[in-house]
Amino acid sequence: MRQFDPSSLYRSTVGFDRLFSMLDQISGVDGGNAYPPYNIERTGENHYRISVAVAGFSENDLAIEVREQTLSIRGDKTGSEAKARAEGNREVLHQGIAARAFERRFQLADHVQVESATLEHGLLHVDLVREVPEAKKPRLIPIGATGSATVIEGKAKAA
């Protein structure tokens, strides 16, 4: 399959840099890191959920940050693993569960806010809501006459 290169569009557009960066990320230009796996679901008309598989990570090992329309989810077990090994004198003979540090980034659309985050059964759920301000919502514009208002004359009834 032929690859699409959006770099030619950068030269002929203004203000769409973020859109093309998102297209680059979708097409795998960012390296194709697939760890940890995740799902993005629509749970309502304006509600979304990102679920990230973080088996073995505790709440203290995870950090969620929103900055400039980018949601970052980071995980790092190095501190808690070293502490557990020191306390219990454990030695890992086989490590099949990935415990490496990660950072996963998601571009958020305009007016999307993080509502909550929960950790259950090895999945980190981040709930999002899109709240469009009243000023940005579509509205109907009444059509008026371009000239002066029409006056209808009539005779008043005598009482």
In contact, 123 and 51? CB cutoff 8 Å: yes
Which two tokens mark 132? 């469009």
Q: Supply angle C-alpha 44, 51, 42, rounded to 5.
A: 15
Mean pLDDT along residues 129-153: 76
Say yes or no to pLDDT of 124 above 90: yes
Classified as helix, coil or strand, 109 is coil
Whole-Å CA distances, 13 to 9, 10, 16, 22, 68:
6, 6, 6, 15, 22
In contact, 35 and 99? CB cutoff 8 Å: no
Q: Is the pTM of this model over 0.75?
A: no
Q: How confident is the model at residue 118 (pLDDT cuts 50, 70, 90)?
A: very high
Looking at mean pLDDT, say which of 39-43, 117-121, 129-133 comes out highest: 117-121
Q: So where are the chain's domains? A: 1-32, 36-135
- The fold for domain 36-135 equals Immunoglobulin-like (2.60.40)
Which has the minimum average pLDDT: 21-30, 105-114, 139-148?
A: 21-30
